[in-house]
Amino acid sequence: MTSRERIRAAVEHREPDRVPIDFSSHPSSGISALAYVRLKEALGMTGGEVLVYDVIQGIAQPEDEILDLFGVDTIDLGRVFLTEPEERRPGRLSDGSEVCAPAYFHPEPDGSGGWLFRGDHGQVIGVMPKDQPFITQTYRPLAEGVTDEALRDLPHHMRQVTWGCPRLTIAPWHRPMDDEWLTEVARRAEELRERSDRAIMLGFGGNLLEWAQFLRGPEGIFLDLAGDPQAAHRLLDRLTELHLEGLRRVLPALGPHIDIIRMGDDLGTQAGPQISPAMYREFFLPRHRQIYAEVKRHCDAYVFLHSCGGIYELMPMLIEAGVEIINPVQTSARNMQPERLKREFGRDICFWGGGCETQSTLIHGTPADVRDEVRRRIEVFGEGGGFVFTQVHNILPDVPPENVIAMFEAAREG
pLDDT at residue 120 in the model: 94
DSSP-based three-state secondary structure for 379: helix
Provide the pLDDT for residue 330.
98
- The verdict on pTM exceeding 0.95 is yes
pLDDT single digits (tens) 367-387: 999 999 999 999 999 999 999
Low-confidence ranges of the chain (pLDDT < 70): none
pLDDT of 414 reads 84
Compute the distance between CA of residue 244 and CA of residue 184 in angstroms, rounded to an integer: 22
- pLDDT one-digit tens code per residue, 71-105: 999 999 999 999 999 999 999 998 999 999 999 99
What pLDDT sits at residue 344?
Answer: 98
Non-local (6+) Cβ contacts of 232 within 8 A are 146, 212, 221, 224, 225, 283
Separation of first and last alpha carbons in the chain = 15
Main-chain phi, psi angles of 31, to 5 degrees: -145, 135
- CB burial readout 28-42, b (16+ within 10 A) else e: bbbbbbbbbbbbbee
pLDDT at 133: 86
